């Protein structure tokens, strides 16, 4: 049965139903249950123990039902209030919607029965003709009463003629006699005199705030039965939806020309804030912003519209009103993004208006989470900037509204407030504006809890549809108070009372009782007691000021301050059950379980709500266990000189560090199995969090004993402790860069120890540059040489990943010369490079190291000659690898090492079989598509360091690429940083004389022929895609993307045999226009395309239209023809054009003669595109380089470009793979991507 037909969902509601079922016929009661659930009880009231109701009738519109419960006699009243006087917290718990079970038990023991035990204990009547008892109308009232009691257990006492709150207050003759509401107003407005806003304002630095949804949900007590779904789960879903959509909701969608006009005029406009207060509610009308332009023209904006506009303009300069809105908008964006806002409930009566029925209504009021110090500090930052608002107050005498504006038609005219007028304070103004924005965001979100089909329930209407909900019906009238009681934990934290909970060690124990070195448990257990005090804050309006600074024990608070002083502790008793006892006791003894729960779980939660928690020192400084790696001498003996000997000379073992003691993993596991989160240990306490302890044990126990690679990774990651001896050994053998330990101590990898250069390398003057090096290295290149030689000297391979054009080749050559001059090149050096770069390597070696002999092993008739260096291509080495299987090298160097990014490729497997004392990988893009590529390169330079590929996938790739874990990404950076050096051209501290690279997007338009071909291709392919799945579907998608690229290029590129004329393609027409301008300027240009056949088309079009045939370079050309094309382009005396295939021209070439680069078609990998661009933008370039990217407008290319831009911004490592990510899109998303 759905919950909306259920009654008695709480123990106290069920208590009432059980009493009725014990007296009445079950069948008759069941008829009443259904009648009540259908909403047939129209009206219900409880006065002096008499229930009056109007229930829908069959023969009349309604029948009158009256049920009179026997009032408590004087003796019973005395017993009731004696119990409450002894324990006032009971009243506080009733006030928040809980009926303590112990109160029922105590009343029963005092012979007080709250509910009738016999029919003659109550009088019943109904005007219906059914003489049965009970009739279905009376039975329906019983169930509605049960629901009333579910939501407000004080109704049980009102049925017996006792208003427990009023009578308790009267009997106690409380100081707080003016206390009316137990719960605060959801939007209190504090009226003050107008103030003067400072004209001098500086842009504020708003502190970042953490996300709050988990904190908010954790603070809420279990929800009462108010809706046909779990309210806590519904709110969790709501905050999840906010997280996914808040940026979209705050985004301003305006045409570009209109946004430019707003950017010019809005910051200079005069801003007026208009606020309203209704006669019975905080807001009778929504706030709005009036924008008064220099011309005098006025514009009315909602607060959300104004915030969107400020965020879109994002300039802090302007009029005082604008500068306030600018800062306020930034604060609200932070609050919404952090999900740092909470709901509250307002209830009011409304007269019948037009289509709306009169009655009692409730609505949700969304507010910033001001219970948090973070959010309060954000508000405090901008309160001084708040301008005086225009305010209309409908709560004036005789019902006439007052205003500080000259007329109620504020959109037409308004004036400055007078000195005598009163307006909302800056804080109240911020609260009203923030609440309005948050309410509008909730409206636009249109969230509905999972599985909800009936959207008419008052809770759904008010909370998630953000509309007024009619709660006049007896079924619903108790919802607002119960909702506010549930949500009041956020407001009661600021209710004018300050609470302090103190935990005190109440047992004097000699230090010797705590055990000796074996950490034995003392015979006498230490005893801790919890006490609580309360005092009124300085903002309290109570007239008795003498008590404001005095701390009162909680059990005396009701006598001094009233019931409201107990409502917040009563709510907190959900998390700290001992608080319920402190209503009647000065202190409570905490057993071990209670102490553990309070210290580990409750203390932090209480702190979030502003409660002061005082703990003794031993409970403040909890000991946390740490995994520690220890080393002892292995079976072999010798001196530790490099990493290569580490594993053979030492044996490693995990232990657990607790304070200054080390225990084994087995001992720690026994401690964890005891199941206590707080464990006494010597003279302190050990904190054992189950999840952390389990994770620690899993890491230690899941694999074999740690080896040298495990030790090194843990050291660099800073995730384990080391004994001093092992730490010193590791520090001594690591390259002199910022190691993991240094980073860990600094707290961030961006903080460098003294003496570290901007590229992170410690100066090392011990290794001089080779005397035979025929080059003057730049400072960063000299440091790179020293880093490589030092790293290899300690037994590690390494990756030099400098940006393209920074001179990786000359640094590698310097290292070979160093080996030669130190007589460490007896077995020679092996260099593997792409075939297109063989000539480049030959020339660089001849230029920079003429003393080295070279054997080029490439081409037909190749032979291996004795030389210092064997230079070969990847493919040649793969074909002839058997000839070198027994050869040992002193150093193996891979150029463009990303070519071994696929670990399953034959090329990768072949080079990883090379036997070499030292290994060096050169690559400007060690990661192009995903992190598995980085693993493959590391598997060459330091085999086994990152463990197996499967281990790397589960421990790094998935957490980083799928789960977006910053923590794991940071760990990977730390464990790889000492062996991977990357410097960027854009860092002026690396190379100050490199010019700028200017990237310009050029947009082409499809011709009529292209557009028709594009749409027919989309239509045909999408039909095939819709009918396929798996590999076939992915194949069709890739075919579609390839086809559309080619159509955007030129119809001939797609159909292979039509005429290659320029007018058939928008791109070729745009290209010719660009080339003519470049030729007139006398510049040289590189034109890249990923399709060789497109280069052929462009060659014919350029030759036909410009009268000169361009140079061409692609992978199908012989080495001789490639070299001739490059030399011809370089040596051309005037303007020249070189057409290059993206892959062939993207590797190693130095073409700084070009000052223009044109990407004719886009490659869906920014790393590849940049690599091609950097043929011109590299060392030796003295002019600015202009990069033109040709994009077809109104096509999928324009949409993909936005994704490419985002991908360029990914820090350090790309995480999506070429075009393959498109194949994973669903059909709708794919259709949206490719449609015009």
- 1097: confidence class by pLDDT, cuts 50, 70, 90: very high
Q: Residue 629: what pLDDT? A: 65
Question: Does residue 587 sit in the same domain as residue 675?
Answer: no
756 against 416, higher pLDDT: 416
Report, as an integer, the average pLDDT of 769-791: 90
State what percent of residues in the chain have pLDDT above 90.
26
Q: Residue 523: what pLDDT? A: 40
Question: Does residue 611 sit in the same domain as residue 640?
Answer: no
Report, as an integer, the average pLDDT of 899-914: 91
Any alpha helices (H) in 890-978, and if so which ranges? 906-911, 932-941, 949-952, 966-976
- 424: confidence class by pLDDT, cuts 50, 70, 90: very high
- 221: confidence class by pLDDT, cuts 50, 70, 90: confident
Distance CA 335, CA 374 (A): 10
Distance CA 1139, CA 1158 (A): 10
Q: Residue 280: what pLDDT? A: 53
1199 against 401, higher pLDDT: 1199
690 against 882, higher pLDDT: 882
Q: Residue 683: what pLDDT? A: 67
What is the DSSP track for 253-265?
Answer: ---HHHHHHHHHH
Distance CA 676, CA 64 (A): 60
Cβ 1204 vs Cβ 1164: under 8 Å: yes
- 519: confidence class by pLDDT, cuts 50, 70, 90: very low
- 548: confidence class by pLDDT, cuts 50, 70, 90: very low
Question: Does residue 865 sit in the same domain as residue 917?
Answer: yes
Distance CA 198, CA 212 (A): 33
Q: Residue 474: what pLDDT? A: 87
Residue 823 lies in a domain: yes
Q: Residue 632: what pLDDT? A: 59
Domain containing 1013 — which CATH number?
3.40.50.300
pLDDT greater than 90 at residue 86: no
Q: Residue 1213: what pLDDT? A: 33
Residue 91 lies in a domain: yes
Kindly report which listed range (25-39, 42-56, 184-198, 585-599) carries the lowest average pLDDT score. 184-198
Distance CA 601, CA 807 (A): 56
Distance CA 1126, CA 1178 (A): 17
Q: Residue 352: what pLDDT? A: 53
Q: Residue 339: what pLDDT? A: 93
Phi, psi dihedral angles at 275 (to 5 degrees)? -125, 155
Distance CA 1075, CA 1069 (A): 10
pLDDT in tens, 1027-1086: 888 888 888 888 898 899 999 999 999 998 888 899 999 899 889 878 887 887 788 898
Residue 162 lies in a domain: yes
C-beta atoms surrounding 68 within 10 Å: 17
pLDDT greater than 60 at residue 641: no
Distance CA 1153, CA 1181 (A): 8
Q: Residue 517: what pLDDT? A: 40
Kindly report which listed range (33-37, 320-324, 1033-1037, 1221-1225) carries the lowest average pLDDT score. 1221-1225
Mark which of 602, 620, 638 sits at the end of a domain. Answer: 620
pLDDT greater than 80 at residue 778: yes
pLDDT greater than 70 at residue 1010: yes
- 1199: confidence class by pLDDT, cuts 50, 70, 90: confident
Report, as an integer, the average pLDDT of 755-770: 58
Residue 765 lies in a domain: no
Q: How much is the pTM?
A: 0.57
- 1182: confidence class by pLDDT, cuts 50, 70, 90: low
Any alpha helices (H) in 182-319, and if so which ranges? 213-219, 231-249, 256-265, 303-313
Q: Residue 754: what pLDDT? A: 30
Question: Does residue 1042 sit in the same domain as residue 1187?
Answer: yes
Q: Residue 38: what pLDDT? A: 87
1205 against 369, higher pLDDT: 369
Residue 506 lies in a domain: yes
Report, as an integer, the average pLDDT of 524-532: 78
Question: Does residue 633 sit in the same domain as residue 615?
Answer: no
830 against 702, higher pLDDT: 830
Mark which of 946, 981, 1016 sits at the end of a domain. Answer: 981
Q: Which residues contact 950 (CB under 8 A, 6 or more apart)?
A: none
Question: Does residue 1210 sit in the same domain as residue 1088?
Answer: yes
Report, as an integer, the average pLDDT of 16-25: 86
pLDDT greater than 60 at residue 1216: no
Q: Residue 1188: what pLDDT? A: 86
Q: Which run of H or of E encompasses 403? A: strand 402-403
786 against 1174, higher pLDDT: 786
Residue 587 lies in a domain: yes
State what percent of residues in the chain have pLDDT above 70.
77
Q: Residue 307: what pLDDT? A: 94
Question: Does residue 876 sit in the same domain as residue 910?
Answer: yes
Residue 1013 lies in a domain: yes
Distance CA 658, CA 667 (A): 11
Question: Does residue 520 sit in the same domain as residue 390?
Answer: no
Domains in the chain, number: 6
Residue 754 lies in a domain: no
Question: Does residue 683 sit in the same domain as residue 610?
Answer: no
868 against 402, higher pLDDT: 868
Mark which of 981, 1016, 1032 sits at the end of a domain. Answer: 981
Q: Across all residues in the chain, what is the average pLDDT?
A: 79
Residue located via tokens 């016999």: 118
Q: Residue 416: what pLDDT? A: 46
Distance CA 711, CA 730 (A): 9
451 against 651, higher pLDDT: 451
* Helix 256-265, helix 303-313: angle, nearest 10: 90
Report, as an integer, the average pLDDT of 119-134: 88
Report, as an integer, the average pLDDT of 1178-1199: 76
Most confidently predicted of 51-65, 184-198, 1074-1088: 51-65
Question: Does residue 295 sit in the same domain as residue 205?
Answer: yes
Q: Provide the domain limits for residue 611.
A: 493-620
Question: Does residue 541 sit in the same domain as residue 643?
Answer: no
Q: Residue 732: what pLDDT? A: 66
- 203: confidence class by pLDDT, cuts 50, 70, 90: low
pLDDT in tens, 1142-1174: 666 545 566 778 878 898 988 766 666 766 666
pLDDT greater than 80 at residue 201: no
Q: Residue 282: what pLDDT? A: 45
C-beta atoms surrounding 765 within 10 Å: 6
Q: Residue 963: what pLDDT? A: 74
pLDDT in tens, 311-366: 888 677 888 999 999 999 999 999 999 999 999 998 877 665 544 556 788 899 99
Most confidently predicted of 502-506, 570-574, 1074-1078, 1228-1232: 502-506
Residue located via tokens 């708040």: 386
pLDDT greater than 90 at residue 1177: no
Report, as an integer, the average pLDDT of 715-728: 66
Edge to edge, the sheet with strand 1111-1113 lists 997-1004, 1185-1192, 1156-1159, 1084-1089, 1136-1141, 1111-1113
Q: Residue 765: what pLDDT? A: 52
- 650: confidence class by pLDDT, cuts 50, 70, 90: low
Question: Does residue 299 sit in the same domain as residue 402?
Answer: yes
C-beta atoms surrounding 872 within 10 Å: 25
- 1116: confidence class by pLDDT, cuts 50, 70, 90: confident
Q: Residue 818: what pLDDT? A: 96
Distance CA 376, CA 382 (A): 10
């Amino acid at each position: 049965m759905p919950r909306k037909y259920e009654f008695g969902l709480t123990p106290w509601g069920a208590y009432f139903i059980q009493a009725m079922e014990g007296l009445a016929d079950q069948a008759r009661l069941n008829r009443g249950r259904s009648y009540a659930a259908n909403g047939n009880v129209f009206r219900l009231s409880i006065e002096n123990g008499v229930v009056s109701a109007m229930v829908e009738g069959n023969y009349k519109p309604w029948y009158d039902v009256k049920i009179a419960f026997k009032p408590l006699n004087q003796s019973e009243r005395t017993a009731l209030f004696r119990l409450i006087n002894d324990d006032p917290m009971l009243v506080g718990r009733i006030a928040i919607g809980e009926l303590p079970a112990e109160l029922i038990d105590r009343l029963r023991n005092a012979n007080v029965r709250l509910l009738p035990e016999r029919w003659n204990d109550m009088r019943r009547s109904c005007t219906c003709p059914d003489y049965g008892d009970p009739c279905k109308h009376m039975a329906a009232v019983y169930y509605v009463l049960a629901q009333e009691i579910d939501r407000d257990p004080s109704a049980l006492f009102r049925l017996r003629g006792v208003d427990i709150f009023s009578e308790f207050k009267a009997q106690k003759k409380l100081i707080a006699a003016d206390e009316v509401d137990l719960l605060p107003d959801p939007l209190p407005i504090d009226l003050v005199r107008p103030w003067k806003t400072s004209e001098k304002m500086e842009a504020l630095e708003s502190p970042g705030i953490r996300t709050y949804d988990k904190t908010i949900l954790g603070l809420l007590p279990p929800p009462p039965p108010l809706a046909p779904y779990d309210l806590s789960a519904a709110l969790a879903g709501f905050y999840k939806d906010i997280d996914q959509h808040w940026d979209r909701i705050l985004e301003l969608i305006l045409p570009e020309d209109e946004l430019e006009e707003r950017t010019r005029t809005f910051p200079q406009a005069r801003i007026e804030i208009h606020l309203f207060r209704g006669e019975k509610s905080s807001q009778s009308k929504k706030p709005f912003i009036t924008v008064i332009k220099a011309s005098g023209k006025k514009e009315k904006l909602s607060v959300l519209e104004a915030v969107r506009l400020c965020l879109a303009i994002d300039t802090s300069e302007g009029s005082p009103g604008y500068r306030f809105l600018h800062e306020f908008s930034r604060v609200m964006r932070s609050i919404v993004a952090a999900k740092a806002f909470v709901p509250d409930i307002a209830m009011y009566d409304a007269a019948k208006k037009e289509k709306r029925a009169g009655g009692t209504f409730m609505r949700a009021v969304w507010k910033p989470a001001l219970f948090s110090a973070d959010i309060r500090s954000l508000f405090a930052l901008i309160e001084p900037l708040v301008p005086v608002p225009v305010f209309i107050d409908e709560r004036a005498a005789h019902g006439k509204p007052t205003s500080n504006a000259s007329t109620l038609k504020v959109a037409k005219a308004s004036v400055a407030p007078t000195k005598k007028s009163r307006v909302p304070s800056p804080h109240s103004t911020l609260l009203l504006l923030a609440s309005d924005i948050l309410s509008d965001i909730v409206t636009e979100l249109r969230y509905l809890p999972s599985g909800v089909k009936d959207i008419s329930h008052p809770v759904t209407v008010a909370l998630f549809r953000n509309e007024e909900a009619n709660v006049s019906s007896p079924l619903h009238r108790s919802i607002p108070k119960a909702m506010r009681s549930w949500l009041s934990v956020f407001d009661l934290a600021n209710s004018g009372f300050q609470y302090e909970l103190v935990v005190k060690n109440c047992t004097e124990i000699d230090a010797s009782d705590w055990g000796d070195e074996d950490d034995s448990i003392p015979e006498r257990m230490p005893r801790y007691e919890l006490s609580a005090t309360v005092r009124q804050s300085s903002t309290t309006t109570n007239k008795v000021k003498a008590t404001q600074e005095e701390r009162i024990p909680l059990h005396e608070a009701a006598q001094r301050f009233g019931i409201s002083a107990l409502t917040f502790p009563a709510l907190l008793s959900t998390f700290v059950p001992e608080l319920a006892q402190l209503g009647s006791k000065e202190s409570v003894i905490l057993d071990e379980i209670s102490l553990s729960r309070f210290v580990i779980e409750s203390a932090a939660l209480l702190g979030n709500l502003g409660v002061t928690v005082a703990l003794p020192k031993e409970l403040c400084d909890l000991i946390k266990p740490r995994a520690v790696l220890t080393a002892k001498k292995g079976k072999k003996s010798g001196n530790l000189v490099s990493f290569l000997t580490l594993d053979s000379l030492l044996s490693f073992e995990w232990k657990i560090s607790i304070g200054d003691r080390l225990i084994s993993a087995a001992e720690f596991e026994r401690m964890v199995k005891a199941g206590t989160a707080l464990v006494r240990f010597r003279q302190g306490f050990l904190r054992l969090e189950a999840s952390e302890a389990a994770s620690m044990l899993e890491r230690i126990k899941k694999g074999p004993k740690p080896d040298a690679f495990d030790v090194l990774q843990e050291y660099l990651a800073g995730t384990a402790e080391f004994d001093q001896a092992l730490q010193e050994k590791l520090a001594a053998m690591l390259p002199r860069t910022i190691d993991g330990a240094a980073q860990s101590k600094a707290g961030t990898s961006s903080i460098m120890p003294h003496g570290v250069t901007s590229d992170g390398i410690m100066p090392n003057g011990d290794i001089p540059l080779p005397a035979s090096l025929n080059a003057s290295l730049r400072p960063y290149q000299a440091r790179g040489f020293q880093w490589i030689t030092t790293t290899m000297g300690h037994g590690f391979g390494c990756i030099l990943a400098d940006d393209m054009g920074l001179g990786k080749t000359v640094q590698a050559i310097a290292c070979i010369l160093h080996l030669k001059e130190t007589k460490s090149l007896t077995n020679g050096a092996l260099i593997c490079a792409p075939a297109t770069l063989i000539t480049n390597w030959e020339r660089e070696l001849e230029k920079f190291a003429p003393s080295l002999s070279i054997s080029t092993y490439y081409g037909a008739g190749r032979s291996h000659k004795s030389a210092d260096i064997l230079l070969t291509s990847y493919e040649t080495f793969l074909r002839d690898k058997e000839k070198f299987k027994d050869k040992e090298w002193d150093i193996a160097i891979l150029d463009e090492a990303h070519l071994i990014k696929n670990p399953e490729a034959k090329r990768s497997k072949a080079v990883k079989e090379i036997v070499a004392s030292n290994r060096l990988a050169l690559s400007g893009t060690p990661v192009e598509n995903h992190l598995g590529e980085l693993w493959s390169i590391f598997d060459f330079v330091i085999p086994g360091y990152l463990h197996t590929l499967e281990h790397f996938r589960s421990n790094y790739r998935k957490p980083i690429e799928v789960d977006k874990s910053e923590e794991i990404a940071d760990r990977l950076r730390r464990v790889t940083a000492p062996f991977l050096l990357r410097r960027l051209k854009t860092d002026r501290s690396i190379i100050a004389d490199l010019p700028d690279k200017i990237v310009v997007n050029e947009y082409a338009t499809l011709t009529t022929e292209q557009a028709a071909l594009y749409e027919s291709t989309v239509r045909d392919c999408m039909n095939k895609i819709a009918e396929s799945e798996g590999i076939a579907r992915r194949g069709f998608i890739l075919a579609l993307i390839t086809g559309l690229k080619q159509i955007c290029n030129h119809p001939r590129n797609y159909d292979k045999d039509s005429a290659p004329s320029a007018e058939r393609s928008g791109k070729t027409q745009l290209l010719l226009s660009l080339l003519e301008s470049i030729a007139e300027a006398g510049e040289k240009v590189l034109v890249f395309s990923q399709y060789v056949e497109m280069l052929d088309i462009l060659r014919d079009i350029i030759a036909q239209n410009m009268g000169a045939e361009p140079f061409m370079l692609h992978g199908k050309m012989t080495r001789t023809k490639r070299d001739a094309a490059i030399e011809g382009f370089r040596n051309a005396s005037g303007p020249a054009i070189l057409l290059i295939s993206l892959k062939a021209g993207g590797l190693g070439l130095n073409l700084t003669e070009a000052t223009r680069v044109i990407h004719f078609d886009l490659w869906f990998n920014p790393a590849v595109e940049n690599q091609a661009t950097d043929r011109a933008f590299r060392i030796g370039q003295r002019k600015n380089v202009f990069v033109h990217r040709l994009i077809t407008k109104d096509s999928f290319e324009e949409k993909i470009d936005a994704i490419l831009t985002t991908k360029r911004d990914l820090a350090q490592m790309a995480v999506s793979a070429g075009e393959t990510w498109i194949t994973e899109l669903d059909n709708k998303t794919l259709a949206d991507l490719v449609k015009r």
